[in-house]
Amino acid sequence: MSPSAFTRINLAACLAALALLLFLFIYPRMVLTELSDRICAGANELIGMIEAGDWAEANAGINAVNDAFQEKKERLKLFLDHEDLDELDATLMGCRRLIEVQEDKQILFELERVINIATYLKEIEVFTVYNLF
């Protein structure tokens, strides 16, 4: 092979590595930001429903929030710590049970916890120079 062939192969390998790194740094953050915003908005809506005493709407709302999380959960397990995702999953299941039995005081604390976990997950997945090194 000629030297120019090696140069082209080198360039192609560098471009492929750059594309892979960009994907790994951008895609998980995009998915996590969208999911976190969706979960937080849904949890805030649920708090309003529960304070208004609309348990049927709250039940439908927790199912929508849980479905949104379950849809992205397996993809996020590739990039995030499983324990954090499992904690959010367990908290959402607990919220569903509390809504079923209409436990209004405890569900408000649990929904705040859901918001805190979702916000934490979004904040730990930040690409900075400090995280790079």
Domain of 79, CATH number, reads 1.20.120
- Enumerate long-range contacts of 57-64, CB under 8 Å, 24 or more apart: 58/99, 59/96, 59/99, 59/100, 62/92, 62/95, 62/96, 62/99, 63/96
Across the range 1-29, mean pLDDT stands at 83
Would 121 be classed as within a structural domain? yes
Among 59, 53, 46, which residue's Cα sits nearest to residue 114? 46
Would 122 be classed as within a structural domain? yes
pLDDT per position as a tens digit, 39-92: 999 999 999 999 999 999 999 999 999 999 999 998 888 878 889 899 999 999
Among 80, 45, 76, which residue's Cα sits nearest to residue 61? 45
At residue 128, the 3 state secondary structure works out as coil
Would 17 be classed as within a structural domain? no
Q: Which domain holds residue 31?
A: 26-132
The whole-model pTM stands at: 0.80
One-letter identity of residue 9:
I
Please say whether the beta carbons of 47 and 65 come within 8 A: no
Would 18 be classed as within a structural domain? no
| Number of domains present in the structure of the chain | 1
Would 95 be classed as within a structural domain? yes
pLDDT per position as a tens digit, 86-129: 999 999 999 999 999 998 889 999 999 999 999 998 888 665 55
